[in-house]
């Protein structure tokens, strides 16, 4: 027992020097020591005995019939273990589950192309060999013969009669067609002083984490288990896709993730690779590792949704926005995968931060001969919010008002919270006017406005752009019932387990499978407060292992959900453990369980002040159980699954699609060179509000990261295809991820308006809503006011800007 006492004296010492509550404290991250010393556990770091390596042959064509694939030469290469082609995959597996409604759900998606390739980069064959290099050598020995057929790269073109059909079994390229109609948009048009009209385009890009996709699969013949080590972001959500495709029992698939080198949504739809590598592991009888190359990632992992909008905005001359009428064409590439989820997820934030009630959206999602899309930081809302924030600035310009004035006039007011949007979203608190005024102060908006006028006289073009955007988190899967009521998904849930072992050690396991968001740290903080201990006394398991961690099939790190969902599950599990521990303590102390509280590593009787240490409670629960209260089950561990109170869509597709609605205001000041179309950011400021913060340091890091992604998307990153359907930016030479020289210093400030609905007033954070994409578009148009250039694209390509300037000059 001396050991325990020693441990406890250290604990007591620690506690006295520590803050009253760990929640809200910028605690240094628990994950960092291993990551800083090269001891991180990423998929490619794992080596299993007898491991072999896979390489994938990909289609050079955007659309072609496969005439034949001859692997015989490859199979004869020394060191090659086995090969696999699409025809074999069609016999061995079932096509992946589709969540579209008929006829789009007839689409057949396999882990290797069967009969036809649908985009350049689609996998057509795979090789397993003793080494990575031998596997790659073998690809060159495969003879694949194709017959190219017409392809289509534009969503509107893909809808025309006679357009090439990507998937014949679907009959057309349409995935989803839907109409949302709230209020009375036609009446709003009639009341309007003016109807502002605009066509807008949101470009293709992706968050491109530095670690590419990776899978290591091992089929254990002895136990019949398929062990999959991957960096998938929702490893248990993809179980139905993997299990049905492989026709392999779900209860013998073990999914493991470790450290993950960034995800941002792009690692959600990697299940075709999980299935492919699993098949190769079964065929070869060897553990098989596959590490995606950067070119494979850029050309064939997933892109963000490309979207075109035709917008009509009825307004009053004073800047009041009466409604929004939109037609949207969403280009989801060659396969649907997670789509058509994106065709409804934008409606989490139907009116953005604005009060207008009249809203109409006709939404069409279309397939083209390009890389399939998938969730990407700010998934689907980013496109929609960009359209709204761009529209608000266009309204301001056309009415001769300052963009801040139009925003302040139309913002939902803090006293209207909780605010119900036309599509049934329930905003959980916030003060948008304050957020905007704070960011204006932070960037010194009115001084810049004056300077802009002065500088223009000297021929210097300054532009100021602002944007206030919602960053919705914790999605309600019920939204996918809009596209197909048969979809077996709704709500959201997460699991956590907390145990206090026989020596008093607290261990926590979560289903959240992080990719750098610091879940070990925030969970330690939450649990430390519950038990009155230091976060150092709480061990949180790293990564995720379905054989070890509790999970729901909605577990994972996506949709800015983990702080909220994880905390909900942790608080539930802590409550259960504490209730039982209190009963044991009360039994020992002969006290009332109701008067037991937990502080400084002890259970304390509030009435008498007498206490017993946690280790003693653990000892009784696990190995000294004769001392337990009569009839009590031994052990001191609890699993809790938490779910928010969500509903299903009504007949008008109204539902609260997400639990929390964080928001951010961004302000950018840029300087434009009209001779080149190139511009630089002079100053960038952000005010974020994600409710109560568990760890402000981590929150600020998320705000920085999301802003950098938005800045990269607005200024540099673009997936462009040539007319043959070849991706022009398939390496980091052409796909311009911003470096430290391109991302400016970011000035940030936080507000903390507690969520009205989420545990402890927390709101999700991380995605950032793609705010810089509109702030920068607005700044560019503002800078070019003297030329009257209108910005209708989300990507501010200097060449295109220059062309727009030249066009205007010709007219001047």
Partner 1 sequence: MKLAKLTQKDDLVQIRCKVNGDAYTGTVEPRTLLVYFLRDVLNLTGTHVGCDTGHCGACTVIMDGKTVKSCMVLAVQAEGASILTVEGLAKGENLHPIQEAFWENHGLQCGYCTPGMLMSSLFLLQRNPNPTDEEIRRGIDGNLCRCTGYVNIVKSIKAAAKKMRGVEVTA
With binding defined as CB under 8 A, does residue 24 bind partner 1?
A: no
Exposure string of 534-558, with b = 16+ CB inside 10 Å and e = fewer, is bbebbbbbbbbbbeebbbbbbbbbb
Residues 568, 645: Cα–Cα separation, whole Å: 12
Query: Nearest distance from residue 53's CB to partner 1, in Å?
Result: 10
The two structure tokens encoding residue 385: 């919010």
Residue with tokens 């223009």: 456
Report yes or no: 593 and 583 within 8 Å, Cβ to Cβ: yes
Letters for 178-207 (x = contact with partner 1 by CB under 8 A, - = none) are: -----------------------------x
The residues in 289-328 that bind partner 1, with binding defined as CB under 8 A, are 291, 293-295
Compute the chain's Rg from CA coordinates. Answer: 28
Q: Which is nearer to partner 1, 206 or 657 (CB)?
A: 206
Q: Starting at the earlier edge strand, list the strands of the sheet with 194-202.
A: 174-182, 358-366, 323-331, 306-315, 194-202
With binding defined as CB under 8 A, does residue 17 bind partner 1?
A: no
Query: Nearest distance from residue 79's CB to partner 1, in Å?
Result: 5
Which of 86, 121, 123, 209 touches partner 1 (CB under 8 A)? 209
Q: Which is nearer to partner 1, 174 or 736 (CB)?
A: 736
Which of 11, 275, 707, 801 touches partner 1 (CB under 8 A)? 707
Q: Which is nearer to partner 1, 741 or 812 (CB)?
A: 741
Environment class of residue 89 by beta-carbon count within 10 Å: exposed (0-12), middle (13-18) or buried (19+)?
buried
With binding defined as CB under 8 A, does residue 132 bind partner 1?
A: yes
Query: Nearest distance from residue 735's CB to partner 1, in Å?
Result: 9
With binding defined as CB under 8 A, does residue 709 bind partner 1?
A: yes
With binding defined as CB under 8 A, does residue 708 bind partner 1?
A: yes
Q: Which is nearer to partner 1, 279 or 298 (CB)?
A: 298
Which of 28, 65, 197, 728 touches partner 1 (CB under 8 A)? 28
Residues 683, 746: Cα–Cα separation, whole Å: 8
Which of 22, 23, 31, 497 touches partner 1 (CB under 8 A)? 31
Q: Name the phi and psi angles at 58, rounded to 5.
A: -125, 155
The window from 60-68, 83-91, 117-125, 286-294 that contacts partner 1 (CB under 8 A) reads 286-294
Q: Name the phi and psi angles at 661, rounded to 5.
A: -130, 80
Residues 270, 273: Cα–Cα separation, whole Å: 6
With binding defined as CB under 8 A, does residue 29 bind partner 1?
A: yes
Collapsing DSSP to helix, strand or coil, 607 comes out as coil
Q: Which is nearer to partner 1, 83 or 619 (CB)?
A: 83
Q: Starting at the earlier edge strand, list the strands of the sheet with 658-673.
A: 461-475, 658-673, 678-689, 747-751
Q: Which is nearer to partner 1, 349 or 510 (CB)?
A: 510
The window from 106-114, 504-512, 609-617, 734-742 that contacts partner 1 (CB under 8 A) reads 734-742
Q: DSSP string of 34-63?
A: HHHTT----GGG---TT-EEEEEEE-SSSS
The residues in 63-102 that bind partner 1, with binding defined as CB under 8 A, are 73, 76-79
The window from 452-460, 480-488, 625-633, 736-744 that contacts partner 1 (CB under 8 A) reads 736-744
With binding defined as CB under 8 A, does residue 288 bind partner 1?
A: no
Residues 137, 142: Cα–Cα separation, whole Å: 10
With binding defined as CB under 8 A, does residue 472 bind partner 1?
A: no
Long-range contacts of 87-90 (CB under 8 A, 24+ apart): 87/114, 89/114, 89/276, 89/279, 90/114
Which of 260, 345, 775, 783 touches partner 1 (CB under 8 A)? 260
With binding defined as CB under 8 A, does residue 230 bind partner 1?
A: no
Report yes or no: 336 and 104 within 8 Å, Cβ to Cβ: yes
The residues in 515-534 that bind partner 1, with binding defined as CB under 8 A, are 515-518
Residues 359, 422: Cα–Cα separation, whole Å: 7
Residue with tokens 């949180």: 540
Residues in contact with partner 1 by CB under 8 A are 28-29, 31-40, 42, 44-45, 73, 76-79, 132-134, 137, 141, 207-212, 259-262, 264, 291, 293-295, 515-518, 697-698, 700-701, 704-705, 707-709, 711, 731-733, 737, 739-741, 743, 745-746
């Amino acid at each position: 027992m001396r050991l325990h006492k020693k441990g406890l004296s250290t604990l007591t010492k620690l506690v006295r020097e520590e803050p009253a509550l760990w929640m809200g404290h910028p605690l240094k991250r628990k994950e960092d020591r291993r990551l800083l010393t090269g001891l991180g556990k990423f998929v490619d770091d794992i080596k299993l005995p007898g491991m072999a390596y896979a390489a994938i042959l990909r289609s050079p064509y955007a659309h072609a019939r496969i005439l034949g694939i001859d692997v015989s030469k490859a199979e004869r290469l020394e060191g090659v273990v086995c090969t696999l082609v699409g025809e074999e995959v069609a016999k061995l597996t079932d096509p992946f589950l589709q969540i579209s409604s008929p006829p789009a759900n007839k689409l057949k998606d396999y882990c290797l192309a069967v009969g036809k390739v649908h985009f350049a980069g689609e996998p057509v064959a795979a090789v397993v060999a003793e080494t990575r290099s031998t596997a790659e050598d073998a690809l060159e020995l495969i003879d694949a013969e194709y017959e190219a057929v017409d392809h289509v790269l534009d969503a509107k073109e893909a809808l025309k009669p006679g357009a090439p059909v990507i998937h014949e079994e679907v009959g057309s390229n349409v995935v989803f067609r839907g109409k949302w109609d709230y209020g009375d948009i036609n009446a709003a048009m009639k009341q309007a002083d003016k109807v502002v009209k605009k066509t807008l385009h949101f470009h293709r890009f992706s968050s491109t984490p530095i670690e590419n996709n990776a899978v290591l699969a091992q089929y254990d013949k002895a136990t019949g288990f398929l062990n999959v080590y991957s960096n998938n972001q929702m490893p248990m959500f993809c179980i139905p896709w993997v299990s049905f495709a492989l026709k392999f029992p779900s209860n013998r698939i073990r999914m493991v993730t470790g450290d993950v080198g960034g995800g941002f949504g792009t690692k959600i739809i990697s299940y075709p690779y999980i299935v492919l590598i699993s098949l190769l592991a079964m065929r070869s009888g060897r553990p098989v590792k596959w590490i995606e190359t950067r070119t494979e990632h850029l050309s064939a992992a997933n892109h963000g949704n490309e979207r075109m909008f035709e917008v009509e905005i009825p307004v009053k001359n004073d800047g009041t926005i009466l409604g929004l009428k939109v037609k949207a064409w969403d280009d989801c590439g060659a396969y649907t995968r997670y789509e058509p989820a994106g065709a409804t997820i934008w409606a989490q934030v139907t009116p953005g931060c604005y009060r207008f009630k009249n809203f109409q959206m006709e939404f069409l999602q279309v397939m083209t001969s390009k890389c399939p899309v998938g969730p990407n930081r700010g998934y689907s809302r980013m496109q929609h919010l960009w359209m709204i924030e761009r529209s608000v600035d266009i309204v301001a310009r056309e009415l001769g008002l300052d963009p801040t004035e139009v925003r302040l006039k139309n913002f939902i007011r803090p006293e209207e919270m909780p605010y119900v949007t036309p599509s049934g979203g329930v905003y959980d608190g916030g003060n948008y006017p304050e957020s905007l005024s704070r960011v204006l102060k932070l960037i010194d908006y009115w001084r810049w406005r004056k300077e802009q006028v002065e500088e223009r006289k000297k021929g210097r073009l300054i532009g100021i752009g602002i944007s206030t955007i919602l960053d919705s988190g914790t999605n309600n899967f019920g939204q996918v019932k809009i596209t197909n009521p048969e979809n077996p998904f709704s709500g959201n849930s997460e699991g956590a387990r907390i145990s206090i072992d026989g020596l008093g050690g607290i261990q926590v396991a979560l289903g959240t499978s992080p990719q750098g968001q610091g879940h070990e740290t925030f969970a330690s903080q939450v649990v430390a407060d519950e038990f009155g201990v230091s976060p150092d006394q709480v061990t949180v398991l790293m990564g995720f292992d379905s054989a070890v961690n509790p999970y729901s099939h909605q577990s994972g790190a996506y949709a800015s959900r983990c702080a909220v969902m994880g905390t909900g599950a942790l608080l539930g599990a802590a409550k259960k453990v504490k209730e039982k521990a209190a009963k044991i303590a009360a039994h020992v102390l002969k006290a009332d369980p109701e008067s037991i509280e937990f502080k400084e590593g002890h259970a304390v009787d509030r009435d008498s002040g007498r206490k017993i240490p946690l280790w003693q409670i653990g000892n009784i629960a696990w190995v000294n159980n004769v001392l337990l209260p009569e009839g009590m089950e031994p052990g001191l561990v609890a699993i809790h699954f938490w779910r928010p109170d969500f509903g299903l869509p009504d007949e008008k597709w109204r539902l609260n699609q997400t639990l929390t609605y964080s928001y951010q205001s961004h302000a950018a000041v840029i300087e434009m060179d009209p001779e080149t179309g190139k511009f630089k950011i002079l100053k960038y400021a952000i005010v974020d509000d994600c409710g109560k913060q568990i760890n402000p340091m981590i929150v600020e890091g998320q705000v920085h990261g999301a802003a950098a992604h938005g800045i990269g998307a607005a200024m540099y990153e673009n997936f462009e295809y040539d007319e043959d359907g070849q991706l022009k930016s398939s390496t980091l030479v052409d796909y311009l991820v911003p470096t430290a020289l391109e991302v400016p210093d970011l000035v940030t400030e936080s507000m903390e308006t507690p969520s009205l609905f989420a545990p402890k007033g927390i709101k999700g954070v991380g995605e950032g809503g793609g705010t810089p994409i509109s702030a920068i578009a607005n700044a560019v148009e503002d800078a070019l006011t003297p030329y009257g250039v209108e910005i209708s694209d989300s990507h501010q390509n200097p060449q295109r800007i220059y062309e727009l300037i030249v066009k205007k000059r010709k007219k001047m």
